[in-house]
């Protein structure tokens, strides 16, 4: 919270820039670069998307979401690193196992998985967004197997396998002493209580759903940009802060995405925001299958070769256009390039005024 509070203020340092043509002077403060800060994710997201643009294939892409039930979410909150790792691993394993089954697809797939932990009202709701190409190489690597139009994999089959794999991995972590329990769930430290919870969770239907395909690579990039580097709430959703209360917008998905507003005490708003911090060095975006980092370039080249019989060479080699960031911000008065005049760093005092007369 201190990083967000100090972001783009004089406390973190900054620089002064000016226009040699008209004499306009402007002060720019440094960003905190904290990955939970809503103001610092735009540039990071653009860089990530530019790097991923060349990885996209000319095939439909599907969006599959894996959600943890409430009683498992309470364990996840107190054991974020362990349970989030299990969530990533078992969700990816579920998709790859079912996709490899000849009864469903019979292909080796790739996917990008992104962790989110929030609902619209900032409640704790851990779930995984998976962006998956609609097909993959055959087991012998000789052809590309495409999924059926507008259908990827059966969600009921995905849900049951995901539930089984996740609960098995969670039980293994418990037996290895990797889980801790505090407060309202402290009783789960007892093996009998934990077993009862596992049995109960194993009888529930776990929510896994797949959205319809959203078209080609250009639409995939636009879609990814809304998910990869998001934080719990964006500044654009904040309405007001008055009398130590924060009002923000949210959508009621249970009633047709109806727009609503919610007002919380400032302390409660900050508490809810902090529910969604992730452990240090934890990777919220991960790649699996033929999109895994190790041999991604070689595997994607092989996929494009297999797709050559189904699409023109132009389509296969086409990459979505990325808009390059301007080299320097223009002067708001005359449009000429601004030049840097002075710099100060974290812990230093800003330069005294006046320090430039517009003629040097």
* Structural domain for 10, as ranges: 2-35+325-345
Same domain for 145 and 210, yes or no, is yes
Closest CA to 26 of 278, 238, 282, 342: 342
Q: Count Cα neighbours of 353 within 13 Å in the Cβ-side half-sphere.
A: 4
Same domain for 80 and 22, yes or no, is: no
Same domain, 9 and 70: no
Q: Enumerate residues 6+ apart whose C-beta is below 8 A from 324.
A: none
The Cα-based distances of 260 to 68, 89, 102 in angstroms read 25, 36, 46
Residues 103 and 134 in one domain: yes
- Asked if residue 249 belongs to a domain, the reply is yes
| Tens-binned pLDDT, residue by residue, of the chain (360 aa) | 888 888 888 888 888 888 888 878 888 888 877 778 777 776 777 777 777 778 888 888 899 999 999 999 999 999 999 999 999 999 999 999 999 999 999 999 999 999 999 999 999 999 999 999 999 999 999 999 999 888 889 999 999 999 999 999 999 999 999 999 999 999 999 999 999 999 999 999 999 988 876 666 667 777 776 777 778 888 889 999 999 999 999 998 888 888 999 999 999 999 999 999 989 889 999 999 999 988 888 999 999 999 986 654 434 444 444 444 444 578 878 878 888 877 877 777 777 655 544 443
Shared domain check, 104 and 8: no
Q: Count of domains in the chain?
A: 3
* Nearest-angstrom CA–CA distance, 118 and 227: 12
- Residues 224, 249: one domain? no
- Whether residues 86 and 157 fall in one domain: yes
Asked whether the beta carbons of 55 and 319 are under 8 A apart, the reply is no
Asked if 332 and 200 sit in the same domain, the reply is no
Q: Are residues 26 and 118 in the same domain?
A: no
Residues 140 and 130 in one domain: yes
Do 221 and 101 have their domain in common? yes
Does residue 14 belong to any structural domain of this protein? yes
Q: Are 141 and 245 found together in one domain?
A: no
Residue 357 domain flag: no
Q: pTM of whole model > 0.95?
A: no
49 lies in some domain: no
> Rounded CA gap, 48 and 43, in Å?
9
CATH number of the structural domain spanning residue 72: 3.40.1310
* CA nearest to 345, candidates 6, 106, 11: 11
The Cα–Cα gap between 221 and 148 comes to 22
């Amino acid at each position: 919270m201190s990083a967000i509070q100090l972001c783009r203020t004089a406390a973190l340092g900054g620089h002064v820039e000016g226009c040699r043509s008209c004499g306009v002077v402007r002060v720019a403060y440094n960003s905190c670069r904290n990955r939970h800060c809503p103001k610092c994710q735009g540039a990071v997201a653009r860089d990530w998307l530019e790097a991923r643009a060349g990885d996209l294939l000319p095939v439909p892409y599907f969006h599959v979401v894996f959600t943890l039930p409430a009683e498992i979410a309470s364990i996840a909150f107190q054991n974020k690193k362990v349970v989030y790792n299990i969530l990533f691993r078992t969700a990816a394993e579920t998709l790859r196992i079912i996709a490899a089954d000849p009864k469903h697809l019979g292909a080796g797939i790739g996917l990008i998985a992104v962790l989110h932990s929030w609902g619209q009202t900032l409640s704790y709701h851990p779930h995984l967004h998976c962006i998956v190409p609609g097909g993959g190489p055959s087991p012998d690597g000789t052809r590309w197997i495409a999924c059926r139009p507008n259908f990827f994999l059966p969600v009921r089959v995905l849900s049951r396998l995901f539930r089984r794999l996740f609960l098995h991995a969670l039980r293994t972590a418990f037996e290895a002493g990797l889980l801790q329990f505090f407060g309202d769930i402290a009783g789960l430290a007892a093996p009998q209580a934990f077993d009862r919870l596992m049995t109960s969770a194993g009888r529930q239907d776990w929510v896994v759903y797949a959205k319809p395909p959203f078209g080609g690579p250009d639409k995939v990039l636009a879609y990814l940009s809304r998910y990869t580097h998001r934080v719990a709430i964006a500044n654009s959703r904040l309405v007001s802060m008055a009398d130590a209360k924060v009002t923000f917008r949210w959508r009621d998905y249970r009633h047709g995405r109806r727009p609503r507003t919610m007002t919380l005490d400032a302390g409660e708003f900050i508490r809810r925001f902090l529910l969604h911090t992730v452990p240090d060095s934890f990777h919220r975006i991960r790649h699996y299958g033929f999109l895994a980092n190790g041999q991604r370039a070689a595997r994607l080249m092989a996929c494009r070769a297999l797709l050559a019989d189904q699409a023109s060479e132009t389509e296969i080699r086409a990459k979505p256009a990325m808009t390059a960031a301007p080299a320097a911000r223009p002067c708001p008065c005359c449009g000429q390039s601004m030049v840097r005049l002075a710099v100060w760093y974290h812990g230093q005092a800003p330069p005294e005024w006046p320090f430039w007369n517009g003629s040097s």
